[in-house]
Structure 1
């Protein structure tokens, strides 16, 4: 295999072409490892640029940092621009750069080609999405779609299309457009060429998307996320599922037996499911301010219409989360206390 890869490098074969060959010769996991090595050992501009995306999307963070530094220190301006863009993205992912600062920094960077323009747009989309500026997000997403349609087939384009699907998956779930959201979610899972962390997060959102339809479907996807977390040693994902997602789903469906959590709001939710409303009220009343979820839980515990209406309004007006807004709305309907105006 090393001789074959050497021939590929000597002929300066593109990452896109090499990947097509490797996935036919090996399983996807092995193919991506070989492609990672090929990318780091190749000296072509494509390997320096598209390799950043390959390494980051597959969770090869140490190798990504190595290639990032190569681009940042390059004598070529195009390399340095790629380095600046991916450094901003990486800092934002690691929470050392805020979304508002990201947007300010992006104003200082002028993309040199269509590929950089698309990634520049991706970064603006991410920041505006997190800042809940959905009007700007929609405009940028349309611009991105047009930009991607202009790119030639490449490994970079494949990953950018996957990024676009991730964005649309989250957006349509948030808008309570579940058929569309799940379509993108299953396309991402079936692609299997993104990092275990990204894959596990897709499973978590799929699990939550099924919460109103059935316990088993939700738990299936949470278990898939846990399998990935344990196999690839992802403690943050494991904590997220065990401390927040599984308690939430279990409490909602009234099956809290054997479920424990360190999260106080989810302890309150579990207490409600166990019939101990006083415990839930005591926990939630100790908070100085309440999130939309906590208003929902306290509204359930107190059977308080006003709190449930406040929760609904917070989900819709502050969070633009129409999926989660179904929680207090459903509670109101079950309590037969009228609709929301």
Structure 2
């Protein structure tokens, strides 16, 4: 389904009557709505009908939980509408939830991944609302992840688990479990603990209808597999591209064609038929082709090099010093044991350091 089809999804009068008959002063919880609809309709229809329920529901709890449902299923415009309803609510609790989801919406919609922290002081971080507490903890973890600080998860893991157990709303508990799986996936991936990371990633893919999220995790998982199972990596990459194409996810199509796909193929020494508009990956391509002078010229044009650009330059220059610097930057500035394998492998291959791969867990 394309984005245009998503906006104009049509329902029969019978389907809409089923939804509207549940709305009112004694309306069921959102999870019960999903259960009732799923007995009559397929998954896609159930999700879209539940979206309609969220936009028209009357109970304070459903109006709060509805924001998480809309967010987790990729209904961005509808989420904004429900955020506005909650922000103007007579309930202070709903107002606070609305403000938090507005922050979430702005970061996601505008792709502001700058490590900006939500001002938690305006909310009670140890309130009688474990659901809101969990949401704020997730936001804190996301912000630190964006600054390559993955160790914060250790601080919050037990607190998060305890608060998750105290959430009495079934649907929130399910969606927050997916959120927890995602932060655990990224943590174990960057720690190079790949067996655990793969388990969490597959769990997310199997338990979310949000095609944008499935595309994102499939892409990440394709990279996870790139060192050890090239065929599996490409299979996952193609699955992600099909979703991106079917759902008109232009951002991911651009990323796949110009960054992720060239990167995975080039890491595996394959360069035939590859083209890219990304300068870093173009330099990577020239290195694998043997055109090191052109690659060096491109890479030296970057003033503030990423560890990837530094790694490419180290390979092009055949420089132990630059490769060791890239390795340190991956490991100490980004806390990234997974991608630190790139310069480490080159250092080992060139005989500049002994084989130290057994220092990593996988």
Quick check: TM above 0.5? Answer: yes
Paired residue for 1:118? 134
Paired residue for 1:49? 64
Q: RMSD between aligned alpha carbons?
A: 1.9
1:88–1:97 contact (8 Å) kept in structure 2 = no
User: Relative to total residues, which structure has the larger helix share, 1 or 2?
Assistant: 1
Matches within 5 A, 1:151-230: 151-193=167-209, 195-230=210-245
1:333–1:339 contact (8 Å) kept in structure 2 = yes
Q: What CA deviation, in whole Å up to 9, does each residue of 1:129-174 have, x standing for no partner?
A: 2223334332123211111011125211111111111111111111
Paired residue for 2:123? 109
Rounded Cα–Cα distance in structure 2 between residues aligned with 1:84 and 1:217: 41
- Tell me: CA distance 1:71–1:248, structure 2 relative to 1, closer, same or farther (3 Å): same
Indicate the structure whose relative CO is greater, using CA pairs within 8 Å and at least 6 residues apart. 2
Matches within 5 A, 1:121-160: 121-160=137-176
The number of residue pairs the alignment matches comes to 339
- Tell me: CA distance 1:123–1:99, structure 2 relative to 1, closer, same or farther (3 Å): farther
> Following TM superposition, by how much is the alpha carbon of 1:340 offset from its aligned partner in structure 2, in angstroms?
8.5
Q: Helix, strand or coil for the counterpart of 1:173?
A: helix
Paired residue for 2:340? 325
Paired residue for 2:255? 240
Rounded Cα–Cα distance in structure 2 between residues aligned with 1:142 and 1:229: 36
Paired residue for 1:308? 323
Q: Helix, strand or coil for the counterpart of 1:306?
A: helix
Rounded Cα–Cα distance in structure 2 between residues aligned with 1:289 and 1:340: 30
Rounded Cα–Cα distance in structure 1 between residues aligned with 2:143 and 2:116: 9
Rounded Cα–Cα distance in structure 2 between residues aligned with 1:99 and 1:75: 33
Where do 5+ consecutive residues of structure 2 fail to align? Answer: 1-14, 357-362
- Aligned with residue 108 of structure 2, among 82, 93, 117: 93
Q: Helix, strand or coil for the counterpart of 2:22?
A: helix
2:326–2:343 contact (8 Å) kept in structure 1 = yes
Rounded Cα–Cα distance in structure 2 between residues aligned with 1:109 and 1:236: 34
Rounded Cα–Cα distance in structure 2 between residues aligned with 1:139 and 1:186: 25
- Tell me: CA distance 1:24–1:54, structure 2 relative to 1, closer, same or farther (3 Å): same
Paired residue for 1:22? 37
Rounded Cα–Cα distance in structure 1 between residues aligned with 2:298 and 2:355: 27
> Following TM superposition, by how much is the alpha carbon of 1:96 offset from its aligned partner in structure 2, in angstroms?
7.8
- TM-score, scaled to structure 1: 0.94
Q: What CA deviation, in whole Å up to 9, does each residue of 1:2-27 have, x standing for no partner?
A: 33323322441111111122233322
Paired residue for 2:84? 69
Paired residue for 2:73? 58
Where do 5+ consecutive residues of structure 1 fail to align? Answer: none
Paired residue for 1:4? 18
- Tell me: CA distance 1:264–1:92, structure 2 relative to 1, closer, same or farther (3 Å): same
Q: Does 2:284 match 1:261?
A: no
Which segment drifts farther, 331-340 or 218-227? Answer: 331-340
Q: Helix, strand or coil for the counterpart of 2:21?
A: helix
Paired residue for 1:274? 289
Rounded Cα–Cα distance in structure 1 between residues aligned with 2:285 and 2:116: 39
Rounded Cα–Cα distance in structure 1 between residues aligned with 2:245 and 2:224: 23
> Following TM superposition, by how much is the alpha carbon of 1:313 offset from its aligned partner in structure 2, in angstroms?
0.5
Rounded Cα–Cα distance in structure 1 between residues aligned with 2:347 and 2:113: 37
